[in-house]
Chains A and B, each alone.
Chain A
Amino acid sequence: MSTAAIEVKNLWKKFRIYYDRALTLKERLLFWGRQRYEDFWALKNINLTVPHGVTVGLVGRNGSGKSTLLKIISRILYPTKGEVRVNGRMSTLLELGAGFHPDFTGRENIFLNASILGLTRREIKERLDEIIAFAELGDFIDNPVRNYSSGMYMRLGFAVAVHVDPDILLIDEVLAVGDLAFQEKCLRRIRELQQRGKTIVLVTHAPKQVEDLCDMAVWLDKGEIRMQGEAREVARAYADWLAAQPS
């Protein structure tokens, strides 16, 4: 395919920081026209092209705008200025098990959660066995998820999300959950997706993960791209910069 999987052009994102979040009608009427918020530019003029089949790491400190960028690409947030174009089916892993209903069983939640991620009934049925096997829940699959341990909850959430089988997968620091064995399994699954030619965007704090998993990397600082290029180069530069920061 000639077109890129993700194209971000001159993207700006402004947030309103409210002094006080109470948005009541009374206050709206009383303080009509008075500014009760400050503008904050979370992303400034971002340009980024991700070709098909490439894994990109987004690194940066807290508040650098990497999660915001991920949310705009995934269409959860709407850009203030600029344009984002995505070619292919996309799935976002921001929080595992978002949308689970505590009273429903694991199996029922697979249907619910997978449909929220945009699968049709037939697609879910085709993948059901695979998802259940991946989550390693055993007989618990037919228990309500409110009885699950947090680890089981995460496993089920991850299992559903990676079986959506998207062309483009966006991941936000969810790989840090679960025990070591499960983390290994998640990483294996990501490598498998890479081999099958999927495009992956990964948000992380850890330069090491970028070196291990990514082809390309983008380093964001205060809403601007500080560096982008080959994964190892960017990861090393970022690691050096981190080490030089007064903590």
Chain B
Amino acid sequence: MKELYLYREMLRNLVAKELRARYKGSVLGFFWTFLNPLLMLVVYSLVFSFVMRAQMQNYAMFLFVGLLPWNYLANSLIQGTASLVHNASLVKKIYFPREVLPLSVVLANLVNYLLSLLILIPALLIFKVHLTAALAAFPLVLLVQTLLVIPLTLLVSVATVYFRDLEHIMGILTMAWFFLTPVIYPSEIIPPELKPLFNLNPAAPIIEAYQAVFFYGRWPDWASLGWLALGGSFFLVLGFRLFDRFQRRVAEEI
């Protein structure tokens, strides 16, 4: 951990590179960071108000509130699987704490998510979603989510070195996870007999917490958030330990 601090400048630069290089050469450049969620919002609200008319009031907003943090999770995982393998030339030639590569993916997606809030908040106001004091819980929800995203991304990045197929399976796995998580539907519609099964999904209470804070204007479910924070902290330590164990042979296996 101390060593990671010494390499903070590398982490910072990689995050900046990730954010800037993505749109480098495009006409609108960094503006795409905002344009992407905006266009997504336009498409969803058109589809769900004119084509597939949702029963739920303000459904597009409900969807948007859950989808943005989901993308933070899913994109971290998907880009994370490739983060060591695609930087083979770097890993083989220079020593640096390998954690920096997957961590830079998580941080870049975190920054992207935070920037998309600049679209989300005005959109919520325009669509007359009532924002309340519950917004104060948002940083905590984000922290708990990040406690899970970091070790998950660390583990998939190092596992991909030994099982290359993971890179291809990851897209499908995250898609399955997406449909098992109440992002596009409210958790109330889950049949009660399946409810215990859905409760095993750590992403569900997180997404529900976002929906509570942004969409329903309620405080999140503190109990489940507390348990997740505890479990997430253990998982974080475990993730770093396992990563350290498995990264030793990364340079020769890559």
Residue numbers of A with Cβ under 8 A of B are: 15-16, 23-26, 28, 71, 74-78, 90, 92, 94-95, 98-99, 101, 103-104, 111-112, 115-121, 124
A92 near B95 (CB under 8 angstroms)?
A: yes
User: In whole angstroms, what is the CA distance A25 to B159 when docked?
Assistant: 12
User: In the bound complex, do residue A116 and residue B10 qualify as a contact, i.e. CB atoms below 8 Å apart?
Assistant: yes
Q: How far is the CB of B146 from chain A (nearest CB, A)?
A: 23
Contact between B9 and A120, CB atoms less than 8 A apart: yes
Looking at B131-139, B162-170, B219-227, the stretch in contact with chain A turns out to be B162-170
A sample of 12 more A-B contacts (CB under 8 A), given A76-B91, A90-B95, A120-B6, is A24-B165, A25-B165, A28-B163, A76-B95, A78-B248, A92-B94, A103-B24, A104-B17, A112-B13, A112-B14, A115-B12, A116-B96
Contact in complex: B17, A77 (CB < 8 Å): no
**Which residues of chain A are near B164, meaning CB under 8 Å?**
23-24
Q: Which A residues touch B89, using CB under 8 A? A: 95, 98-99
Say which residue of A25, A78, A117 sits within 8 Å of B94 (CB atoms). Answer: A117
Complex CA distance for A28 and B166, rounded to whole angstroms: 13
Is there an interface contact between A118 and B10, defined as CB atoms closer than 8 Å? yes
Q: CA of A78 to CA of B91 in the docked complex: distance in angstroms?
A: 13
Chain B 1-17 interface 0/1 with A at a Cβ cutoff of 8 Å (1 = within): 00000111110111001
Bound together, the chains give a CA A111 to CA B20 distance in angstroms of 14
- Check A23 against B94 for contact (C-beta < 8 Å): no
Which B residues lie within 8 Å of A15 (CB)? 252
Q: Which residues of B contact A (CB under 8 A)?
A: 6-10, 12-14, 17, 21, 24-25, 89-96, 162-165, 169, 248-249, 251-252
Whether A99 lies near B94 (C-beta < 8 A) is yes
CB proximity of A207 to chain B, nearest CB, Å: 26
For A94, the chain B residues whose CB sits under 8 A away are 92-94
- Top 3 nearest A-B pairs (CB, nearest first) are A78-B248, A115-B9, A98-B93
Cβ-defined contact, A23 with B251, below 8 A:
no
Interface centre among B13, B163, B165 (most CB of A within 10 A): B13
- The reply to whether A78 and B249 contact each other, CB–CB distance below 8 Å, is yes
Chain A residues closer than 8 Å to B9, beta-carbon distance: 115, 119-121, 124
Name the A residues within 8 Å of B91 (CB-CB): 76
B210 to chain A, nearest CB (A): 33
- Are B252 and A77 in contact (CB-based, < 8 A)? yes
**Contact A101 B94, beta carbon cutoff 8 Å:** no
Residues of A within 8 A of B90 (CB): 98-99, 116
From B162, which residue of chain A is reached at the shortest CB distance? Answer: A23
Among B12, B90, B95, B165, max chain A CB count under 10 A is at B95
A75 to B96, CA, bound (A): 9
Q: Which single residue of chain B is at the shortest CB-CB distance from A90?
A: B95
Measured between beta carbons, the chain B residues less than 8 angstroms from A23 are: 162-164
User: Which of A16, A25, A98, A103 is the one whose CB lies under 8 Å from B25?
Assistant: A103
Q: Are A101 and B17 in contact (CB under 8 A)?
A: yes
